[in-house]
Amino acid sequence: MPDATGLELIAKELADTVPGDGSPVLGTVHFRGRGTLLVDPARIRPVLERLRGIGYSFMASVHGVDHYPEEPRLGVCYELIDMAQVDRLTVKVRVATDDPVVDSVTPDWPTANHQEREVYDMFGVVFRGHPDPRRILMPEDYVGHPQRRDFPLGGEPVIFTYNENEDIGGAR
Amino acid sequence: MSERDELFDASALRVNELNARQMLRGAALEGLNAPAPLEGAELERHVEERVLTTTLEKAVAWARSNAFFPATFGLACCAIEMMSIVASRVDVARFGYEAFRASPRQADLLILSGRVSIKMAPIVRRIYDQMLEPKWAIAMGACCSSTGVFNNYALVPADHFMPVDVHVPGCPPRPEALMHGVLRLRKMVQDDPEMGWRERYGAQGTEEVLPPAPGGGRSGA
């Protein structure tokens, strides 16, 4: 794990080398030995490319988070590993639900293909430039993104002998 | 000797049986030791003891219920318990259900062993539709009866998309419980053949292969 100082050095490195206005790093968190960078969603691809250049060349995971009721709600996390230094780094972006668009990193990291599809399926984050932006787990005609926290839980009203005469949820 | 003892005396039974066979052939009894031929009420009783009368429907239901061919079809963890009913401890072969068929066209019992997701439901339904009549279905475990611990957006209970004859509760049900369910189905098929799913769901006339038209020839081709 990069220590707190090392994390700030990585943030400085990114601010110096990634093109665009200002630093692409919106914040750093160092918690329990884990370093996390919060990054501008518009510049996720050059940031990850630069991190690959300094050794974080293995993408272990891409996953989504719903931070409801915080805003911006939706998060996408990229777990990077430096296999030579045995070091790992979490890169996070946050987008709002009314425009949940993040650049796809699949052209640079082929492993992200299915994982971005899963994040799209479950959270509705749209990955711009993804080669195959379909759902991966739910049926293709499914409506909604079930892992969002404001999605109804669904399921069946369960009837036992003690409540079989009640009208549970108006079903049946 | 009481009448009952006489009835169950093995040697007497054997002699009577041989006599009856000869009488049925129309041959006369011969020999010095030949007992008197059976006549009248005695002969009638002898035949009644050996002949069972029933209806064709009952005989067919009896035959069907003792030879289910389950489909080799596992959905989730319940399938492990389903497999173990074929093994030596519960041994479904004692009842004649050991021939698990890998093709729905050869199977007449679908054991839904596990959870059915809404993406899997059309496939399960298609397999059920491919099975030939008469056919039965057992919903095994909590998941495919009421979605169980996966009671959320992803699953659908089996009753919502196909007819189910027996529900076996449990998570997963022990093999004995599934065996009990299969035997309840056997009893249902033997005692209430009118409890078939078409009757219960009002689905007469939706057969895949329709019976021949009155004028002869094939219909529904």
Tell me the per-residue pLDDT of B68-79, one tens digit each, with 9 for 90 and over. Answer: 999 998 999 999
Tell whether A136 lies on the interface with B, counting CB pairs under 8 A: no
Give the relative orientation of helices B56-65 and B175-191 as an angle to the nearest 10 degrees: 170
Which of B174, B212, B196, B206 lies closest to B108, judged by CA? Answer: B196
pLDDT class for B217, splitting at 50, 70, 90?
low
Query: Is A158's CB within 8 Å of B119's CB?
Result: no
CA nearest B153 in A: which residue? A154
Residues 6+ apart with CB under 8 A from B32: none
Q: Choose, out of B147, B149, B153, B156, the residue to mutate when testing the contact with A (most A CBs < 10 Å).
A: B153
Query: Is A154's CB within 8 Å of B153's CB?
Result: yes
Tell me the per-residue pLDDT of A81-94, one tens digit each, with 9 for 90 and over. Answer: 999 988 999 999 99
Tell whether B145 lies on the interface with A, counting CB pairs under 8 A: no
* E-assigned strand segments in chain A: 25-31, 34-39, 58-66, 74-82, 87-95, 101-103, 126-128
Query: Is A155's CB within 8 Å of B153's CB?
Result: yes
Query: What is the ipTM score, two decimals?
Result: 0.73
Euclidean distance between CA atoms A121 and A42, whole angstroms: 21
Tell whether B4 lies on the interface with A, counting CB pairs under 8 A: no
Tell me the per-residue pLDDT of B167-215, one tens digit each, with 9 for 90 and over. Answer: 999 999 999 999 999 999 999 988 877 777 777 777 777 766 666 666 6
**For residue B165, pLDDT beyond 70:** yes
